[in-house]
């Protein structure tokens, strides 16, 4: 019920999910991790902006809304479309199904906040009747004080150990790979390019 896609930024994880959902006629509920707001940036906005809401709280509200959406019947006569057992990836391919895409997790400050985030995610993945696709970009540690890479590694490891989770790693997009794909595409269209 959970598909974890990992790989470097820009390698096509989210785009692949979007294209597959469009091709299969599936509705996509999407969370995109917002750029972290530094507290001092918000503190000087005064009355110009809405009240500050932490990114972790925004994420938990998204999970809550997605859970509420999963309670709305998808099939005729309130059948829910999944027979009450929750949709598996294979069963949700029928038109009108829904996929929840979580495109990167919000940044957290401290182990306790990170653990709360992971617990929320784990509860959601266990209770959602829709398939959940979690896209995590590879994080390169900036310095010894950078905990986001460590926290994300913990999320990946804990989900990999879950029997309900499948992991797929996307390779980096490189110039030689792009050249090979373009070459194959041009050959299939009977257009040959001189090197």
Confidence of residue 137 (pLDDT cuts 50, 70, 90): confident
In this predicted structure, the answer to whether residue 65 has a pLDDT above a threshold of 90 is no
> Does the domain spanning 2-188 belong to CATH 3.30.420?
no
What mean pLDDT, rounded, does the chain reach? 73
Confidence of residue 53 (pLDDT cuts 50, 70, 90): low
Select the more confidently predicted residue: 143 or 87: 143
CA–CA gap between residue 70 and residue 42 (Å, rounded): 34
Confidence of residue 30 (pLDDT cuts 50, 70, 90): confident
What is the average pLDDT across 70-84? Answer: 42
Burial class (CB in 10 A: 0-12, 13-18, 19+), 33: middle
Tell me how long the chain is: 195
**155 closest CA partner among 127, 141, 136:** 136
Q: What is the pLDDT of residue 23?
A: 93
Residue 186, both tokens: 């041009």
Residue 170 in 3-state DSSP? Answer: coil
Contact assessment for residue 100 and residue 66, using Cβ atoms and an 8 Å cutoff: yes
Question: Which of 60-74, 107-121, 137-151 holds the top average pLDDT?
Answer: 107-121
Residue ranges of domains in the chain = 2-188
Q: What is the pLDDT of residue 55?
A: 73
Which secondary structure element, helix H or strand E, spans residue 157, and what is its range? Answer: helix 148-161
Does pTM surpass 0.75?
no
In this predicted structure, the answer to whether residue 81 has a pLDDT above a threshold of 90 is no
């Amino acid at each position: 019920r959970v598909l974890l896609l990992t790989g470097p930024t820009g390698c096509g994880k989210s785009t692949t999910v979007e294209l597959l959902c469009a091709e299969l006629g599936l509705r996509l509920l999407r969370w995109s991790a917002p750029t972290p707001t530094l507290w001092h940036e918000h503190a000087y906005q005064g009355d110009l902006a809405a009240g500050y809401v932490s990114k972790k709280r925004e994420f938990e509200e998204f999970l809550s809304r997605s859970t509420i959406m999963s309670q709305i019947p998808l099939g005729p006569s309130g059948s829910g479309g999944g027979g009450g057992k929750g949709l598996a990836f294979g069963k949700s391919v029928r038109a009108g199904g829904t996929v929840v895409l979580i495109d990167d997790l919000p940044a957290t400050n401290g182990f306790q906040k990170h653990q709360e985030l992971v617990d929320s995610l784990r509860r959601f993945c266990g209770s959602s009747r829709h398939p959940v696709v979690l896209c995590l970009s590879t994080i390169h540690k900036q310095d010894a004080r950078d905990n986001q890479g460590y926290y994300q590694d913990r999320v990946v490891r804990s989900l990999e150990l879950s029997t309900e989770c499948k992991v797929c790693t996307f390779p980096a997009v490189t110039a030689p790979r792009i050249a090979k794909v373009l070459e194959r595409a041009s050959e299939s269209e009977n257009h040959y390019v001189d090197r």
